[in-house]
Structure 1
Amino acid sequence: MTATVHPLPGQNRPDPSLDPLVALVAADMNLVNRVILDRMKSEVPLIPELAGHLIAGGGKRMRPMLTLASAALLGYQGTRHHKLAATVEFIHTATLLHDDVVDGSGMRRGRRTANVIWGNPATVLVGDFLFSRSFELMVEDGSLRVLRILSNASAVISEGEVAQLTAQRRIETDEQRYLHIIDAKTAALFAAACRIAAVVAERDEADELALDAYGRNLGIAFQLVDDAIDYASDQAVMGKDAGDDFRDGKVTLPVILAYARGDESDRRFWKDAMEGHRTSDADLDHARKLLERTGAVQDTVARARHYGRRAVDALGRFPDGRAKAALVEAVAFAVARAY
Structure 2
Amino acid sequence: MPKSIFPSVISFSNQQQPEKIDPTSEEDFGVQIARAVDVQELDTNLYMSKELWLPIGARGAFGGQIVAQALHAAFNTVGKTFFCHSLHSYFILPGDVSVPVLYEVTPLRDGRSFATRFVRAKQRGKAIFVLSCSFTKEYTDPSIDHQSIMPKVPAPDSLPSYTDIVRQQLENNNLSAKYRDYLQKRLEEESPIDYREVDPEDIHDENDAWFTTGQKGDRRARWCLTRGKLGDDPRLHALIIAYLSDSGFIMTAALAGGAKRRGVGMMASLDHSIFFHKPARADEWLLYDMQSPRSGDGRGMAFGRIYTKDGMLAVTTVQEGLIRLTKAEQDRVRQEREEKSKL
Q: TM above 0.5, one fold?
A: no
Shorter-chain TM-score tier? under 0.3
TM-score (norm 2): 0.26
TM-score (norm 1): 0.26
Instruction: Tell me: higher relative CO, structure 1 or 2? Use CA pairs within 8 A at least 6 residues apart.
Output: 1
